[in-house]
Structures are given as C-alpha cells and as structure tokens.
C-alpha cells in the first residue's frame, strides 16, 4: 500500500498572520488523490465503506490501521473518473478532511492546511478562514469539529486494532487479480482476518466482541474483500477507455 500522507505537499499551521485574507474553495475535485492506491479507514466507517471498497489492515503494532484499497497497482486510484470526480457513494473521511489535518506539537493539536491545495486562494472564492476582525470563521469551527471527531475515531480504531492484534487473527494477504486479457496483477503488503481463527475463538471472547461491535466490524471486513472483483472490473473499464 502506498504512503497516504503524500497527498499533503506544503503543510503550514493555520494562523491570522499568514492566512487572514485567504479562502478555501472545496469542490468535487479529488485530483490530489490520483497517485494513491489506499487510504486509512476508521472502524466507524466500515458499514458504509464495506459496500464499495476492499477493507484490509496495514502497518504493524502499535501502528496497525485499517485501509480502503483504491487500486490494484501502485500509485493507482480507480475511483477517480472524468473531471477528477469520486466514483463511489461513500468517500472516506481521510479524503474528506483534506486540505486540513492536525499536527501534534508539544502535547497539543495544531490545525494545519496544505497550502499547495488548488482551492486555497486570496480571491475570496469559497469560504474565508478568518473574519475581518481576525476571528476564525464558522467554516473553520466546522473543520475543527470534524478533525476532533476524526481524532476520537482514530483512537477508537487503534483500540480495535490492538484487540484483534492481541487475538492473533491477522495474517498476510496478497490479492490476485486476473484481467479478461489473461494479465495477472498482485497486490500485497497488507493483512486480513483469518476466518477459521476467528470462528475458533472461545465463546466468551466472541460474546464480548459481539457486545462491543468488534465482531460486526470483522465480518464487514471479510465481506468487503469481495470488492477486489469490483476493482478488477473498474480496471478493465479504464483500460478499455
């Protein structure tokens, strides 16, 4: 899986000294994601994401994290269609938070923006970051609320991943995709839950996991692996032009 943070090119803390006269025009252009084939996914996103993306696990403990697969080759995002619009009903929160992100500085979170974002402008297009009196606008308040919720869900997802890691349920996986032309592609570097190991867990453990929705999340993950077939079909259509 690719390095997702490459979508951020020129990060800078949001402040009145640098950005008082700047605005953000956020539309439906997802060109910034054209060279990534996966994005981190929060556990709370599984119910919607599992309908459209293969959900896998990447990294190693304690940095294990779920991810939505976007392409069957490196640096390939099959969910971009004409005009760089997103070709799915659900857009992962990791992408929806762009061009903003929190950085961690001396025990506190600092709101940052990618100044390379095409919608970042001084012409007044879109939403202003600061009012004339240098106070932050309601738009920035909303961004902060979104990112704070994202951070809360990230911590919950870390706990979820630590739990399944401790249970020894994950194993390396390689997706094999065969095109109609006979060409074969493989995508690896991630892990998936072993269904037999999951079923072999003690009844008490399975009961606890059912109560806190962990079991549901794992079966959504397993169900989502069928979406590799969807990625194959999307790749076929792109090759056909």
- Which stretches in the chain have pLDDT values below 70? 1-5, 241
167, with CB counted inside 10 A (0-12, 13-18, 19+), is middle
- Residue 1's pLDDT is 42
- Length of the chain in terms of residues written: 241
Cis peptide before 222 (omega within 30 of 0): no
User: pTM to 2 decimals?
Assistant: 0.91
Is the distance from CB of 208 to CB of 215 less than 8 angstroms?
Answer: no
Between CA 73 and CA 151 the distance in angstroms is: 29
Between CA 96 and CA 32 the distance in angstroms is: 11
Between CA 199 and CA 194 the distance in angstroms is: 9
- Residue 2's pLDDT is 42
What is the residue extent of each domain of the chain? 4-240
- Residue 207's pLDDT is 96
Between CA 54 and CA 221 the distance in angstroms is: 8
30, with CB counted inside 10 A (0-12, 13-18, 19+), is buried
- Residue 195's pLDDT is 95
- Residue 237's pLDDT is 85
- Residue 5's pLDDT is 58
Q: Where are the alpha helices (DSSP H) in 86-137?
A: 93-96
């Amino acid at each position: 899986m690719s390095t997702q943070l490459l979508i951020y090119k020129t990060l800078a803390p949001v402040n009145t000294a640098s950005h008082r006269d700047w605005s953000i025009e956020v539309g439906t252009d997802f060109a910034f994601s054209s060279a990534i084939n996966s994005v981190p996914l929060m556990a709370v996103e599984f119910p919607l994401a599992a309908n459209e993306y293969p959900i896998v696990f990447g990294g190693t403990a304690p940095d294990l994290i779920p991810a939505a697969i976007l392409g069957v080759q490196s640096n390939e995002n099959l969910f971009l269609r004409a005009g760089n619009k997103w070709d799915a009903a659900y857009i992962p929160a990791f992408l929806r938070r762009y061009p903003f992100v929190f950085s961690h500085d001396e025990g506190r979170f600092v709101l940052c923006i990618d100044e390379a974002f095409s919608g970042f402008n001084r012409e007044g297009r879109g939403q202003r970051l600061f009012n004339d009196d240098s106070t932050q606008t309601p738009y920035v308040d909303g961004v902060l609320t979104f990112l704070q919720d994202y951070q809360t869900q990230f911590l919950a997802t870390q706990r979820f991943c630590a739990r399944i890691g401790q249970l020894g349920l994950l194993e390396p996986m390689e997706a094999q995709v065969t095109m109609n032309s006979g060409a074969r592609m493989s995508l690896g570097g991630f892990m998936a839950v072993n269904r037999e190991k999951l079923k072999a867990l003690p009844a008490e453990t399975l009961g606890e996991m059912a109560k806190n929705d962990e079991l549901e999340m794992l079966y959504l993950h397993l169900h989502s692996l069928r979406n590799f077939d969807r990625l194959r079909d999307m790749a076929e259509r792109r090759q056909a032009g």
